Structure 1
Amino acid sequence: MRIALLQMTGSIDPAHNADMLVEGIAEAKAGGARMLFTPEMSGLLDRDRKRAAAHLAVEGEDPVLAAVRKAAAEQAIWLHLGSLALRADAGPSEDSGRLVNRGFVIDDSGDIRARYDKIHLFDVDLDTGESWRESSTYDAGEQAVIADTPLGPLGLSVCYDLRFADLYRTLSDAGATLLGIPAAFTVPTGKAHWHVLMRARAIESAAFVIAAAQVGRHEDGRETYGHSLVVDPWGEILLDMEETSGVGFADIDTTRIDEVRRRIPVLDHRRAFAAPEPSA
């Protein structure tokens, strides 16, 4: 089955990003893809919070989400919209200025089949001088999510989630055979860890990893790593888009999942165990 990944250099203008997404949906369909995967922060990539605030909306009023749902229906293609920055629209954070980093699975009729709020938030100071504090703005998700898709059960995650193997164990234990990991990875961390972690998540889960990424120099001054990947359950890289913007394609054979899981049945061999006793 053919899938497509959109690797993009997201801007501070949601209308521009929406145009790129709609064009990507059309290109994916024309290339024979059953489903398109897009990066984290597909609708807006802007670390200037004051400037970004003018463009942020709750889910039901977000113009980028509306545009891609319409395009998915018109093109009759499934879509994993990696994530959008949205105003929190439920619970104690409503109208508080807090945000969520939310991914969506949208079917070929434009209906939303699943939502996932990023669980692990990126709070770090890098040696380059970059400092990120997602928790100062975003509310963390609390629920792992699997979406039924034409490709099979797709476990959802976003970017920094990649570093937390227990999330992917939970997803694969619950039946996920594909793992979506959209991202806007920094260049230093990408060079150090991107490929090895993506391959590790695929191997330990005996599942396909599909990771659409942001790439290049952005209007807000950040630089992202790119290298959108498709990795098979054996850890083989089927697609690496390197630093090129646009739509890439990969043909995946889902029978490979059962083949690998028979060859090394890691899921069957998982066991619960006690934590170490505290030292005296």
Structure 2
Amino acid sequence: MKVAAIQMVSGISLDANLSAARALLDQAAHCGAELAVLPEYFCFMGQNDADKLLLAETAGLGTVQDFLSDTARELKLWIVGGTLPMATDDPTHAANASLVYSPKGECVSRYDKIHLFRYDNGRESYDEASVLRAGETPTVFDCPSRQGQSWRVGMSVCYDLRFGELYRMLAADLLLVPAAFTHTTGQAHWEVLLRARAIENQAYVIASAQGGNHENGRRTWGHSMVIDPWGQVMAMQAEGPGVVLADLDMARLHSVREQLPALQHRRL
């Protein structure tokens, strides 16, 4: 199954971000991708954290959801809508939700980011819990390929990457990590954590990131990549918008798990 990790440098204009996402998804589909994963906050990177509350959508209703549904149907593509803000019963907090659309344009899965990022090194400061409500439910979905195989896909978002226990619970063939890692933390930890999640779970990983200098002054690390179950980086783009393509091989997945049956050897 050919997959695409979409890298963006999203800004403060919803329309401009959706237009950029559409062009990249068109490119992915033209190259034969069956599944495309957009980055965290592909639709909006506001001037401050609270700005996202103004765009929070209700389930089944909203500009971003319509965009994802229509594009998936028109391109006959599985699309993972990185994340977008979804309304909660508290108007001061939104959910950071990742939505999955089938080639029929149907929303088949939703995952709300469980782990909320907080970081302060004296120069940069982030606290997602100030405007986001944490999710509670590990989420997987089945993605059938054109070859007739079914992939068990585990969902996660950005900061989740630091919590290996989540990925053990997912027990997936393919792990998704849409993200907007800061340049500081990404430079230090992004690739090593992604490769560790692939190796320890003997699973493919699609990591689609924000990558560049944003209008709000934030700098994200980028380095979107696809990693195989042995921990090898199959394809990667360092910075700027782009499409990272790779072919997933179910036989390769089974071979790794048979040659080194570590998943069968767990005792805790």
TM-score after normalising by structure 1: 0.90
Q: Are residues 85 and 188 of structure 1, via their aligned partners in 2, closer, same or farther at CA, if it must alter by over 3 Å? A: same
1: CA distance between counterparts of 2:197 and 2:54?
Answer: 37
Q: Residues 217 and 224 of structure 1 are in contact (CA less than 8 Å); yes or no, is this contact kept in structure 2?
A: yes
Residue 201 of structure 1, aligned match among 197, 214, 234:
197
The secondary structure found in structure 2 opposite 1:61 is coil
| Structure 2 runs not aligned, ≥5 long | 146-150
Shift of residue 81, structure 1, vs aligned partner: 1.3
The secondary structure found in structure 1 opposite 2:180 is coil
Tell me, yes or no, if structure 1 residue 252 matches structure 2 residue 248.
yes
Tell me, yes or no, if structure 1 residue 149 matches structure 2 residue 148.
no
Name the amino acid aligned to 1:99: A
Q: How many residues align?
A: 263
Tell me, yes or no, if structure 1 residue 125 matches structure 2 residue 124.
no
Q: Residues 77 and 108 of structure 1 are in contact (CA less than 8 Å); yes or no, is this contact kept in structure 2?
A: yes
**100-109 or 263-272, larger mean C-alpha shift:** 263-272
1: CA distance between counterparts of 2:187 and 2:101?
Answer: 31
Tell me, yes or no, if structure 1 residue 112 matches structure 2 residue 84.
no
Partner of 2:162: 163
Q: Residues 198 and 227 of structure 2 are in contact (CA less than 8 Å); yes or no, is this contact kept in structure 1?
A: yes
Matches within 5 A, 1:135-146: 135-146=129-140
Shift of residue 58, structure 1, vs aligned partner: 2.3
Partner of 1:277: none
Name the amino acid aligned to 2:226: V
2: CA distance between counterparts of 1:51 and 1:96?
Answer: 12
Q: Residues 225 and 234 of structure 2 are in contact (CA less than 8 Å); yes or no, is this contact kept in structure 1?
A: yes
2: CA distance between counterparts of 1:257 and 1:209?
Answer: 12
Q: Residues 72 and 79 of structure 1 are in contact (CA less than 8 Å); yes or no, is this contact kept in structure 2?
A: yes
The secondary structure found in structure 1 opposite 2:169 is helix
TM-score after normalising by structure 2: 0.94
Q: Residues 24 and 242 of structure 2 are in contact (CA less than 8 Å); yes or no, is this contact kept in structure 1?
A: yes
1: CA distance between counterparts of 2:116 and 2:13?
Answer: 24
CA deviations 1:90-143 (Å, max 9, x no partner) are xxxx1532100000111001101110000000012125x111111111110100
Shift of residue 268, structure 1, vs aligned partner: 0.4
The secondary structure found in structure 1 opposite 2:184 is helix
Name the amino acid aligned to 1:192: A
2: CA distance between counterparts of 1:30 and 1:53?
Answer: 34
Q: Residues 53 and 94 of structure 2 are in contact (CA less than 8 Å); yes or no, is this contact kept in structure 1?
A: no
1: CA distance between counterparts of 2:163 and 2:256?
Answer: 22
Shift of residue 50, structure 1, vs aligned partner: 5.1
2: CA distance between counterparts of 1:54 and 1:160?
Answer: 23
Q: Note the aligned Cα RMSD (angstroms).
A: 1.4
CA deviations 1:18-67 (Å, max 9, x no partner) are 11222222211111111111101111112524544433332333211211
Name the amino acid aligned to 1:109: K
Identical aligned pairs, as a percentage? 41
